[in-house]
Structure 1
Amino acid sequence: MQQELQIAVEAAQRAGKIILRKFGELSKSAIHPKEYKDFVTDIDHESESAIMDIISRAFPRDGFLCEESGDREGASGRRWIIDPLDGTLNFIHSFPVFSVSIALEGADGELAAAVIYQPLQEELFTATRGEGAKLNGASISVSDRHDPQHLLIATGIPFKEYHYLDEYVAMLKDVARDSAGIRRAGSAAIDLAYTACGRFDGFFEYKIFPWDYAAGVLLVREAGGIVTGFDGAHDVFRHHSIIAGNPVTHPMLREKAKKHFTQNLLS
């Protein structure tokens, strides 16, 4: 996987340069509504095209699942899962929290390599299956904190769909009581990367998509953490809900999800 990881890093860094070129200077004409309360910019498209071009030249038989251009099958059975700008709304508002997320799913359906890059901070998170996770080349691991008085938990707040808002708010209140604080950064990729390196002790979000979390899932698992859906399933692609944390915080968050989300929302 070293060649794959190297190509993913090259692609992420190229996308980062494209993103930084327009950070703080994005014109209104470059912002387009995608659906209700969801936006895409010309930079999203340019960044995604650059990533796909670099990967396609190196691995022409691989497929893609991209936030902006959708699903494209490949002959190899492998696919690259790409979010060219995770945190687009932050980027639009010049809020300096956004990232590039690239993951490789193997022909066996398991995540094999991952890169999350924060261009402003020049932080490069990488992981390959069975070989651990790294930040700028140094090994990282999930936190070993377990006392609720010290736990910092990340989440994503619903912004488009509200049929589960009551359940989410009830869980949020419960987590707030059993933690030192909650953060909402606006980029699930960053939330998961920060969980992998121990900045956050756990993360949960309901209703997100593979390009948001694929790379982060591998990072957390390779850093010694646990990631499942709200239903406890290892296959997080089934229901698009995520609970990630260390061996103490993950079960705690999982129990709260079971307590507050009805069975039809869990499955």
Structure 2
Amino acid sequence: MSRELDTAVKAAKAAGEITLRKFGELSSLEIVQKEFKDFVTEVDKACEAAISSLITTAFPDDSMLCEEGTIAEGESGRTWIVDPLDGTLNFIHSFPVFSISIALRDTGGDILCGVVYQPVLRELFTAEKGGGAFLNGSPINVSSRCDRESFLIATGLPFKEYHYLDSYVAMLKEVIHDSAGIRRAGSAAIDLAYTACGRFDGFWEYKLYPWDFAAGILLVREAGGTVTDFEGRTDVFLKQSIIAGNATTHPMLLEKALKHFCPEHPLQP
């Protein structure tokens, strides 16, 4: 394990302990609405402070981009991308599905290492570029399922922006038809981690933020899966829409995304 990944693991676990101490104990005074249907808690802020402190101490020349506003401008060209509590609404409602996501992106835009930690289950997903993906130290791989009647597919639902709702619902109807079931966990980082270890056969979501997916896309790729945006591009940071899956589910989801979100795209039949 590299020094970078070791630091990310320590930071994720430190944040995880903060969440567990407060899980189910939040008061209304500890919850703030940032904007329409988007909330932050004192736990988000405490987790971000713990993570940023550990990382900036270990790598003072690196930059940081965190969901709750912590920004550090380093000189190395590398950037740590952090979601201190992915699934805040779940956490507020004591729904035990939330995670901590930490990734390191290099000067060329590649993700060097990533961690997704699910504190309630003590599940630690880790990956380094070229080194494979792991769950609690054991290697993981994307699923090998190729029968659409067996697919379990994850997604996220529109909750703030509705201009693409019709396209989303149209795609959802087709995915329901071509799968055994759909799940909406409320944490994109967990969705991607579960895709990496084969619990989900694929995942799609329109309009995420870098801290939602940075660590997860490395997990899926290092686990043998494919991740692109809705137009099939591998640089998902450009459009921030994600399709992830195995050799069967990724093409299936991409075809539907092109049809419903990018009807004028040259790859659209």
Structure 2 length-normalised TM: 0.97
RMSD: 1.3
In the other structure, the counterpart of 2:35 is 35
In the other structure, the counterpart of 1:133 is 133
Aligned equivalents of 1:180 and 1:133: distance in 2? 26
1:172-221 CA-to-partner distances (Å, cap 9, x unmatched) read 00000000000000000000000000000000000110000000000000
Question: Structure 1 pair 264/26, CA: closer, same or farther in 2 (3 Å)?
Answer: farther
Q: CA deviation at 1:72?
A: 3.0
Q: CA deviation at 1:69?
A: 1.1
User: Which secondary structure does the structure 2 equivalent of 1:45 belong to?
Assistant: helix
Gaps of at least 5 residues in structure 2 are: none
Asked whether 1:187 is paired with 2:187, we answer yes
Q: CA deviation at 1:240?
A: 1.0
User: Which secondary structure does the structure 2 equivalent of 1:121 belong to?
Assistant: coil
Q: CA deviation at 1:108?
A: 1.8
Aligned equivalents of 1:64 and 1:149: distance in 2? 42
In the other structure, the counterpart of 1:239 is 239
Structure 1 length-normalised TM: 0.98
Letter in 2 for 1:190: I
- Structure 2 matches for 1:111-126, cutoff 5 A? 111-126=111-126
Contact kept? 2:210, 2:240, Cα under 8 Å: yes
Aligned equivalents of 2:194 and 2:10: distance in 1? 21
Percent of aligned positions with the same letter in both sequences? 66
- Structure 2 matches for 1:9-20, cutoff 5 A? 9-20=9-20
Q: CA deviation at 1:55?
A: 0.4
In the other structure, the counterpart of 1:230 is 230
In the other structure, the counterpart of 1:106 is 106
Q: CA deviation at 1:31?
A: 0.2
Letter in 2 for 1:245: G
Question: Structure 1 pair 54/198, CA: closer, same or farther in 2 (3 Å)?
Answer: same
Q: CA deviation at 1:28?
A: 0.3
Q: CA deviation at 1:73?
A: 2.3
Letter in 2 for 1:66: C
Aligned equivalents of 1:215 and 1:72: distance in 2? 19
Question: Structure 1 pair 164/265, CA: closer, same or farther in 2 (3 Å)?
Answer: farther
Q: CA deviation at 1:70?
A: 5.0
Aligned equivalents of 1:247 and 1:27: distance in 2? 45
4+ runs of 1 displaced by more than 3 Å?
262-266
Letter in 2 for 1:204: W
User: Which secondary structure does the structure 1 equivalent of 2:100 belong to?
Assistant: strand
Letter in 1 for 2:135: L
Question: Structure 1 pair 185/207, CA: closer, same or farther in 2 (3 Å)?
Answer: same
Gaps of at least 5 residues in structure 1 are: none
1:93-127 CA-to-partner distances (Å, cap 9, x unmatched) read 00000000000001221000000000100000000
- Structure 2 matches for 1:1-267, cutoff 5 A? 2-263=2-263
Aligned equivalents of 2:126 and 2:135: distance in 1? 6
Contact kept? 2:258, 2:265, Cα under 8 Å: no
User: Which secondary structure does the structure 1 equivalent of 2:17 belong to?
Assistant: helix
Aligned equivalents of 2:264 and 2:241: distance in 1? 13
